[in-house]
Amino acid sequence: MMHTSLAFTLFSFVADFKTTLSHNQNCNNNLTQLAQMTGLNGMDLIIDGWFHERGALWPGQAMSLEVKEVLYHGRSKFQDVLVFESTNNGRVLVLDGVIQVTERDEFAYQEMMAHIPLYAHPNPEKVLVIGGGDGGILREIAKHPGVKEIYICELDGDVIEYSKKYLPTLAVGYDDPRVKVHVMDGAVFMDQNQDNFDVIITDSSDPIGPASVLFETPFYNAMHRSLRDGGIVCTQGESIWLHLDIIKPLIDSIKQIYTSVEYAYTTIPTYPSGQIGFIIATKNRGSCKQPKKSPSDEQQDDLKYYSADIHQASFVLPHFAKKAIFDA
């Protein structure tokens, strides 16, 4: 999901980028970048019945899904929104030309991003989600009866409404009475709520343009200040196949802030390279590789991907990635 704390800066950035594009002869090679930065109609990415996602962060490759029916297309205040029914992946949410979720495989991302930090914490009672407007992360947090309060900060309220209408299997998370929705800047909210959360989950977009600040040290400082002692943050951590040049310096940087910094991952077919990672960092707490508790039999029956075994295995990296990220 697009991280909402950056939306206020997006308009001036787009104006500058439009001028640059008029002189950029290479822009035709990146339809997704055009959509992200200029507001290109998302329908232009559907060609001969197929939606095509391309991106600067995964050059030389594309993800294409066959479109059965376009359910919605329009612009919110901040971004292009497209929802379509695909032939094999269920309903698909696309923001600014980038696939956010498909009904077929979304659980592999939502479950791991939510349950790794929640099961690594012995008693999480207060949880904050930044971004994640589709509601999938909320749905997973709501499976933890010990959590007393769930906050979500999503600046683009339209994404919440579209998800409730077109993606009810994800947006069911909003129905939980513990959920408190704040349509506002997540960074501002954290500044107003310091030493307040046991777990913070940031479901962010990729580090292109203004979203790049979410992968920089100041944002991790802000989360650290908003955590209670012993708290855990979990953020989208990009792909070991495509983004080691992003992951390595970020982890090196935030090691100066957090007690423990680790990288876990999940596999998901419709994400670039089929793999996406999570940066798991703690405030005065050790490693998160071993869950502090496991799902009950009833809870496990309600999960499709996460388990205590998968939790531990997700931190085991291929040698090339372990060496590149941790010099090990």
Residue 18 has pLDDT above 80, yes or no: no
Predicted confidence at residue 39, as pLDDT, reads 62
- The region that residue 55 occupies, defined by phi over 0 for left and psi between -120 and 50 for alpha, beta otherwise, is beta
Percent of the chain whose pLDDT exceeds 90: 76
The verdict on 283 and 220 lying in the same domain is yes
Cα distance between residue 136 and residue 134, in whole Å: 6
- Tell me the per-residue pLDDT of 246-260, one tens digit each, with 9 for 90 and over: 899 999 999 999 999
Q: Which amino acid, 185?
A: D
Per DSSP, 47 falls in state E
The verdict on 68 and 126 lying in the same domain is no
Residue 292 has pLDDT above 90, yes or no: yes
The arithmetic mean of pLDDT across residues 271-286, rounded, is 96
78 falls in which pLDDT band (50, 70, 90)? confident
Predicted confidence at residue 19, as pLDDT, reads 33
> What order of strands is seen across the sheet that includes strand 50-53?
46-47, 50-53, 63-75, 80-86, 91-95, 98-102
The verdict on 66 and 133 lying in the same domain is no
Of the ranges 12-26, 53-67, 307-321, the best mean pLDDT one: 307-321
For residue 85, what is the domain's CATH number? 2.30.140.10
The verdict on 208 and 250 lying in the same domain is yes
H or E stretch covering 75 = strand 63-75
Count how many domains the chain has.
2
Residue 67 belongs to domain spanning: 4-101
Active site residues: 203
The arithmetic mean of pLDDT across residues 107-121, rounded, is 99
Would you say 198 and 127 are in contact if contact means Cβ atoms under 8 Å apart?
yes
For residue 318, what is the domain's CATH number? 3.40.50.150
Residue 34 has pLDDT above 70, yes or no: no
Beta bridge partners of residue 80, listed in sequence order: 75
57 falls in which pLDDT band (50, 70, 90)? confident
The arithmetic mean of pLDDT across residues 62-82, rounded, is 95
Q: What is the pTM of this model?
A: 0.87
Which of 34, 69, 101 is the endpoint of a domain? Answer: 101
Residue scoring higher pLDDT (301 or 186): 301
